[in-house]
Structure 1
Amino acid sequence: MPDVHVGIGATVGSVIPTKGAVIPAAVGVDIGCGMMAARTSLMASDLRDNLEGIRSAIEQAVPHGRDVGPGKRDTGSWGDPPPAIVEAWTTLAERFDRITVKYPRLRNTNNLVHLGTLGTGNHFIELCLDTEQRVWIMLHSGSRGVGNAIGSFFIEPRSW
């Protein structure tokens, strides 16, 4: 599901068909930004009236926000990435290394420490109910720092 808010060159989530080309400003700087929802096996009656415990558990399991002040380099939300995150990154690292050989400026983008984190801005995790009182989890997230670095690099005016 697209994000659907104002972007740099187009509304985030726009579909712009091209042949043999990508329009970086239309893709934007939060590459992969989007939303999804997953239905759980829970019903509204399974939840307590006060969801503070669930919120705390989600916040402990899924890092969010920035760990440094505005304007400083965001080093990510994982102080020490858990083994599952390190393992997931190893499946991506070789492909990312091929990109950074061609575009070295993209090397230091906090990929490992951002992987699996929520980020900031309008990204969120939300519990929802449908019309039949079934519980859903909705997620809005994106690429964090690496998407911004890649998007900004290719949007930047240059002579190729």
Structure 2
Amino acid sequence: MKFNWGTGIFLFLAVFLAACAVFIYFAMSQQVNLVHKDYYEKGVDYSEQMKVNDRSKAFARSIKVSSSNNILSIEIEESLAKRVESGTMYMYRPSDKTKDIKVPVTAGLSQVQFQKSDLIPGRYILKFTWFMEGLKYEVNQPVNVQ
């Protein structure tokens, strides 16, 4: 068979289409981790989140994180713990949403503990969200698990 310009164009297009197909397969098999499932709806409510952040600034230092051999302990300042009506402690893993852990916080609870066996080493963001006197508050704090 003689190799002419028609054969070259055909081979080029065949290789190009095969490469496109491989790339599309690769792109479709990747896991997409948005920050939240309702990412766009949260963007619409951002002004409300700004109000929550402004209210919560006074409580930024009311949460202390300590670590021992097997336990990651989060301590809530006693004066704040008495005023909390309800809330959640959320250990958010930015790189893998399947490793997130959420624990409910009840009124008067001043300490929450996480087993290190439930956490993988790396960076988490502790999101403590609570309600006090009918208003929502939220404090975020980075946590490194070793």
Please indicate the TM-score interval, normalised by the length of the shorter structure: under 0.3
* Greater RCO (CA < 8 Å, at least 6 residues apart): 1
Structure with the higher fraction of residues in strand conformation: 2
With structure 1 as the length reference, what TM-score do the two structures score?
Answer: 0.23
Q: Of the two, which has the highest radius of gyration?
A: 2
Q: Which has the higher helix share?
A: 2
